[in-house]
Amino acid sequence: MRGKTKAVTSVAIVLAMLLIGSAFLNVAFAQEYVTGTQDDTLGVWLFSAGTTEPGDAPTDDIVERALFYDLLDLIGDEAVEVYNFGWGPIEPTTGQEDTTLAEVIVGLSAIDDFGDISNPGDDDANFDTGSGGYFEGGFDPNDPQMIVADGVVATGVLGPSGATTAAEAQAAIDGFEIFIFEDAELSGMIVTLSNDLGLSITFSLADLQVNPPTRNYADDTLIAIDLDSLVDFDGSYIDTIRIQDDGISQLSTVSGDTTLEIDAIATVHVIPEVALGTIMALASMFGSLGYYVVRKKRSRNLK
């Protein structure tokens, strides 16, 4: 009897291990990729939250893993990061425009309205710019962080999802440095990336430029920007992002809010090594010059 019990127990353990192993493999194989659509501006890609069902793609999950591992930072979730903003009337129905700094900050504080058609807090979950409205911001001006190219040219494929390490999360964002999450039917917008050295790069996206047949018009779209391949980027850095509704009304008014709704903005955040190296080189140069001047003066005094 004991032998049979042991045999049955052994079989149960083996079966349990097989079940656990099978479940683990299913989780591992459940990792997904999301393929984007390239814009006519080289370096700009568009990714949908879902192509058939709202939110059926892990687009936002992949970026959120990078945020979790501190590879990216949200822009606009603090007052010092909002340099300026403006608003206009929401189309086709007014009433949910965000007209205060507090509303802008709340709207940009998380990726919390991407691919979600049943969100009861939709009004607070994004910055509703309205027609012609805009956001302009970046890192805290007193913070040395900037947005720089990472040396990886994006392929237009995000993933795999489910990153469990920082290295996996880094690989999954495919070399993109700037991510703009837009809620609902893609609204036409004008995006300008600039810095305090005079660099300014502008591109535009059209209403419904990507328009998958998702239920209830839930075509939330991620705009991902790769500085390594972005046209006219000079290799320096970006310190200001401006996103503006293009003010062009959509012909269709059956799909709810058709003006710009920014759910979140996420970017890389680094202190450029080039800039730091330049500072060190200048410090060394001026230090050597000072030493030379002092030595030369002492030499003259000795004479």
Taking the chain (303 residues) in runs of 10, the rounded mean pLDDT of each run is 46 46 45 94 91 79 97 98 96 85 96 65 79 96 93 97 97 98 84 97 88 66 96 97 91 66 94 50 48 46 50
Residue 64 included in any domain:
yes
Residue 291 included in any domain:
no
Write down the pLDDT at residue 271: 72
User: In angstroms, rounded to a whole number, what is the distance separating the alpha carbons of residues 46 and 167?
Assistant: 24
Residue 160 included in any domain:
yes
Residue 90 · residue 130 · CB < 8 Å: yes
The DSSP H or E segment spanning 12 is helix 2-29
3-class SS of residue 295 = helix
Query: The whole model's pTM is what?
Result: 0.79
Residue 280 included in any domain:
no
Write down the pLDDT at residue 212: 61
Report which DSSP code applies to 197.
T
3-class SS of residue 223 = strand
Picking from 207, 279, 298, the residue whose alpha carbon sits closest to that of residue 246 is 207
Q: Give me the residue label for tokens 């998958």.
A: 212
Residue 247 included in any domain:
yes
- Two structure tokens written together for 160: 């795999």
Write down the pLDDT at residue 24: 41
Residue 147 · residue 237 · CB < 8 Å: yes
Q: Give me the residue label for tokens 């008014």.
A: 253
Judging by beta carbons within 10 Å of its beta carbon (0-12, 13-18, 19+), is residue 11 exposed, middle or buried? exposed
- Give the domain range for residue 215: 31-271
Phi, psi of 297 (to 5 degrees): -65, -40
Domains contained in the chain, number: 1
Residue 101 · residue 95 · CB < 8 Å: no
Residue 294 included in any domain:
no
Residue 7 included in any domain:
no
Residue 186 included in any domain:
yes
